Structures are given as C-alpha cells and as structure tokens.
Amino acid sequence: MKSFIKKFFDKSLLLFLIIGACNTVLSLALQFALFNWAHFGYWGSSATAFTICSVSSFYFNKKYSFKNTEKVWITALRFALVIAVCYVLAYYVAQPLTSWLLNALGWTLESKITDQIAMLVGQVIFTLLNYTGQKFFAFKNQEDKKEG
C-alpha cells in the first residue's frame, strides 16, 4: 500500500495537474459555450469539449507527465479507453449526484443551471478517475510493467 501511495503522489501528479488545469479551463469554456450558445445539451457539449481537449492532453501527458516511451498508437488506444470510461462514469454520476445535492440543500434551480453545475461536478470526478487510469494503465511504461 505504501508503494502505491508513493507512486501515486510523485512528480507526475504535479505535472498532470498543471496540464490538466490548462485543459480543464479550455474544456469548461468549450462546454459552456457549446451548451449555452450552440445548444448542444449536457452530453453533446461535454463530449465534444472532451474530444477536442483530449488531443493536447494526450500529447503533453505522454511527453511530460509520464515520459512514456511506448509507441504512440499503443498508448493512444489505452488513453482513449481511459478517457471514454472516465468520461462516461463521471458525467453519468454527476447529473443525479448534483440533483440529489441540490435537493438535499433545498435549492430549486432551473434545469439549465443544474446541468451546468453537473458539468463542473463531472469535471472534478473525471479528473480524479482520469489521473489514476492514465498513470497506471494508459501511460505505464514497459519498465513499470516489469516492476508490478
């Protein structure tokens, strides 16, 4: 357990968070623009923004956060799988969780506002799931695989 915690909280986490913060700002801006101005809805705006932002996320995390040396197509497939699973889980959970929390607080908001809050909640859940998946699956180098 100690080695897992040590591996989890290493230099790659800081780099991942810096890259992720930049991507999160861009992703949220795109999500809200697509939701409010292009009327893509909750799923359409979040999926489109994630797809676009995933390209830069893949490049920078492969090169800088995790210093992955495997072939691009191998890591790209694993990366896409992690993104898809984390996205679906995070955003599927975010909507009912947000509605439940708002109801528990006694707040009644317009569904458009609730969906936008759910997008923020989904982003937080996604980030937590995504780091774990990228570090221990998508960008795991061959040397790391031999260790454990």
User: pLDDT for 62-71, tens place per residue?
Assistant: 999 999 999 9
Cβ neighbours of residue 108 closer than 8 Å, sequence gap 6 or more: 102
pLDDT for the residue numbered 140: 85
**CA-to-CA dists, residue 24 to 38, 119, 126, 144, 145, angstroms:** 20, 11, 10, 28, 29
Give the chain's mean pLDDT.
Answer: 91
pLDDT for the residue numbered 4: 66
User: pLDDT for 17-57, tens place per residue?
Assistant: 899 999 999 999 999 999 999 999 999 999 999 999 999 99
Percentage of the chain modeled with pLDDT above 90: 78
User: pLDDT for 115-126, tens place per residue?
Assistant: 999 999 999 999
Rounded Cα gap, residues 30 and 57, in angstroms = 15
**Would you place residue 3 in the very low, low, confident or very high pLDDT band (cuts 50, 70, 90)?**
confident
pLDDT for the residue numbered 13: 86
pLDDT for the residue numbered 96: 97
How many residues would you count in the chain? 148
**What are the extents of the domains in the chain?**
2-143
C-beta separation of 35 from 115 below 8 A: yes
